[in-house]
Amino acid sequence: MYQVRNIEVLREELRKAKAIRTYNRLQALNMLYCDIDTGKICEVCGVYVTTLLYTWLPNWNELGIDGLLDEPRTGRPSLINSKQKEKLREYVLSKDGRIVCKDLARYVKSQWDIDADEETIRKVLKSMKLSWQKPNKENYKGNEEEKKVFLKSFGWHKG
């Protein structure tokens, strides 16, 4: 009926398949080779007959396993393009001391009118191999004696 070429190779690929979508496609072709009704195969695999017979089968017969693999998918486009990232990088590196994501989000809004939240800014920094840190609640450069005098003036310090 339908000719599935290289059935030994198909079954070997079926044993090795790690991606579930590829496994399902290989399994459908294996069932097709075993003369199982195309309607049943499509019901089990959750696909249309046209997908099975006019996409998967010719792809397997012509290209082998490469014809059944998923192609890379594009994701959501970045809010900040590569030129903007480069300017943001220059801005971050030109700053003396610490700069927080909230300030960078405001900078991005003022420069390019892009509403980017702090998490987006963190991801952009990470993609540029820059690090980010949350600001410390304590002043790590503060003088301990001055702190004691300050707290004592309010009656909050014991000692």
Kindly list the averaged pLDDT for each block of 10 residues, start to end, along the chain of length 159.
Answer: 84 92 94 93 93 93 92 86 91 81 91 92 88 59 76 69
In this structure, the number of other CB atoms found within 10 A of the CB of residue 144 comes to 6
Residue 134 lies in a domain: no
pTM: 0.50
Q: Which residue has the tokens 């801005």?
A: 91
End residue of a domain, out of 39, 67, 95: 67
Question: Domain limits at 99?
Answer: 82-127
- Nearest to 123, CA basis, from 157, 158, 76: 76
What pLDDT, on a 0 to 100 scale, did the predictor assign at position 3?
82
Indicate if 54 and 94 belong to the same structural domain. Answer: no
Domain count of the fold of the chain: 2
Q: Are residues 62 and 88 in the same domain?
A: no
Q: In sequence order, what E strands does 38-157 have?
A: none
- Considering the domain architecture, whether residues 23 and 62 belong to the same structural domain is answered as yes
CB within 8 A of 137, min separation 6: which ones?
none
- 119 and 95 together in one domain: yes
Helices 38-45 & 20-33, crossing angle to 10 degrees?
170
